[in-house]
Amino acid sequence: MTEAIKPPYKVVQRFYTLHSRHSSLVLDCRGNAPAILYWGVRLGQGTSPEMLALLATQQEAPACPPEEAPIALSPELGAGFQGNPGIQVHRQGLQWAVSAQIESVTQTNDSDLTIVSVCKSTQIRITHRLGLDCDSDVLSASTELCNIGESSLSVEQCNAPSIPLPMDYNKILGFQGRWANEFQLQPVDRFMGTYLRENRSGRTSHDSFPGVIIHTEQTSESSGAAYGLHLGWSGNHRIRIEEQFVGRAYAQLGELFFPGELSLDPNQSYCSPMLYGASTNNGLSALSKCFHRYIRSHLTDARMAGKAKPVHFNTWEAMYFDLSLERLQALADSAAKVGAERFVLDDGWFKNRKSDCAGLGDWTVDKTVFPDGLGPLIDYVHAQDMEFGLWIEPEMVNPDSDLYRTYPDWVLSTPPAPLILSRNQLVLDLTRTDVQDYLFNCIDALLDQYPIAYLKWDMNRVINQPGNAEGRAITHYQTLALYGLLARVRAAHPMVEIESCSSGGGRADFGILGYTDRIWPSDSNDALDRLAIQKGFSMFFPAEFMGAHVGPKDCHITGRSISIATRAGVALFGGMGIEANLLEMDDKEKQVLTEAVVLHKQHRRLIHSGDLVRLDTSEDENSFGIIAANQKEALFSYALLKSPSTTAMGHLRFRGLEANTLYTVTIIWPTAPSSASSSIVDVINGSVVTGDALMNFGLQLPIMQPTSLLIFHLTS
């Protein structure tokens, strides 16, 4: 029976206010639709919402309605909104103009709010949920849509709540990229019209990360006002920032649907992905600090609390598909000697997998490589006091596989268009129960048979043809099915850690963090590329979730040759790992690598719990610090990317320190830094300097070679 539309049952106040430690959000409920009146620095007790509303009084604009339709949480076509609606629905072309009225508002405490609205014309119920986390100041917001009519409802859009933007937030910092060059920052001046990024890849994507920062002209890493917004969703998405001709602007993030992808039966609901946001007046590093603290307190699984992130050794760039037990054992010996704590066997271990042309889908051990199974290798790895990890790519299948030959109808497709192969593979339809059960049983059997501590869960292609056997577009349901499969694996094997890898950083978002414990930001281990990739990644994610590996001297992707000291120095500041052929390294390189691993372990707790500050530098430099919560200890990295225009270097001005605290300053990497003539390198170690001097005067950098770096350790 269809739910009747009920009249309001609670008196709705004119305004509602949420508070966190440093932020406030004021919701305006004077009209039919709720809208954000204020989001920013925490307001004092003497400041009332009525004062803000008074100060926001606008006059009628020429050639416009007397009163503009509000930038509501879900802007409405039925209210005359001229921008993009928050919700777009119809019933066979009718009942499309949403014009809802607030039915109830529930506020249980200072930080959570639920607003229920009903639209009689379209027969939908809209539920907006907003929360302001007290400790991290992160806003979480979602929009739920329920069909309370008697017929099927077609849903074209249901975005997360819209965020009005102050007029002086006139800079957009977006993200662009590609495979092996993800998380590249893309600054754009806000303009009249629409900034739009859309992703149809079926995963978070390499080229359009679902996050954006909007800030003022004066904002830098260390100061200025900014909003950071991120959609926690691992499928298709849309980011829209629109400035209307009257000067108003808003940001809108939500899931992107293909034609006919989402329809709701009577009493059926859809909830948008969660929008995560942060507001600050203290610069971009402060914005990142909010997101990092939220991830650490809300998206880090309890079983990982307090556990050190092991140093990895991954076999891929050491062996590719050329596997043998003897060489793997030799690599395990070398990995243990340089200090690795987890040995990860990458692609090539399963049936008929001699290249990327065959085997995906047949998740049984290749007896031609491992006649006695993986047991002998795992036992050998354990004897070296390392955990064992394994690479899998469950969502994919090669046409040359037993699975595909048996079940060719299990793949996504859009007939009569021919199947599109990418990396010689097709995508399995995870929405099918039989596919879900098959994949779970394969993974479950491996984890039952072998003591595997870690799964590198990969996805090496875009979903180009996201159609099921009925011919319907199903990216939304495919994403939910992935979450379901991951949750099922975790429930059955709770101590197994899972990495989200998608041909590198193709699936990195807060949604996937609900099911995984590490993200592989990029397949590129080129240290210079990694500095930019890791900088972009750090805007939203903390260091402990970032896989960062020491690659080979000659990067197979870029062809660039970089010293071991720089490669190791870059990898120190994440979930450190090694992905190079140790059997081909000379003793000197192995010694430097060993020293770097020791250094990482010494400072791992700080790196994986401290507050990140990125320093404002020129394009030729990269510098950042990680500071303990009590400001008594810090690590700072400075890298010179290319030759500077002047011979002498400038001063490195630290940030985030206590001005009156005395710090002992030591260069800890490279272990034996040197310069052509006497410099700071020769005199700084052991010096005691105030935070005031380090921040306001700074440290004279030595003359450095391009692609080199220094790491400073500060202790109070």
322 is catalytic: no
For residue 171, how many other CB atoms are within 10 A of its CB? 18
| Cα(421)–Cα(440) distance, integer angstroms | 24
Q: How far is CA 213 from CA 35, 193, 219, 283, 575, in A?
A: 21, 17, 11, 11, 25
Distance CA 575, CA 584 (A): 24
Q: How far apart are CA 134 and CA 267, in angstroms?
A: 34
Place of tokens 């009590």: 630
Out of 347, 366, 509, 523, the active site residue is: 523
SS3 category, 84: coil
Helix (H, G, I), strand (E, B) or coil at 662: strand
CA distance 357 to 425: 7
Q: How far is CA 292 from CA 106, 222, 298, 357, 508, in A?
A: 29, 16, 10, 40, 14
Distances (CA, A) of 28 to 33, 115, 513: 9, 11, 33
Radius of gyration of the chain from its Cα atoms, rounded to whole angstroms: 27
Beta strands in 491-553 (DSSP E): 497-500, 518-519, 547-550
- Close Cβ partners of 114 (under 8 Å, ≥ 6 residues apart): 105, 106, 107, 127, 128, 129, 130
Integer CA distances (angstroms), 712 to 359, 624, 703, in order: 47, 11, 16
C-alpha 401/C-alpha 426 separation (Å) is 11
- For residue 359, give Cα distances in angstroms to 176, 286, 356, 393, 446: 33, 47, 8, 11, 16
Beta pairing partners, 35: 28, 72
Place of tokens 């497709």: 413
Q: Is residue 523 annotated as part of the catalytic site, yes or no?
A: yes
Convert 53-86 to b/e letters by CB count within 10 Å (16 or more is b).
beeeeeeeeeeeeeebbbbbbbbbbbbebebbbb
Q: Give DSSP secondary structure letters for 419-481.
A: PPPBTTBEEB-TTSHHHHHHHHHHHHHHHHHS---EEEE---S--S--B-TTS-B-HHHHHHH
How far, in whole angstroms, is CA 342 from its chain's centroid? Answer: 24
Nearest of 552, 493, 536 to residue 517 by alpha carbon: 493
What's the chain's length in residues?
716
Sequence-distant (≥ 6) Cβ neighbours of residue 193 within 8 angstroms: 242, 243
Which of 458, 509, 526, 529 is the catalytic position?
458
Cα 678 from Cα 418, distance rounded (Å)? 68
* Active-site residue set: 458, 523
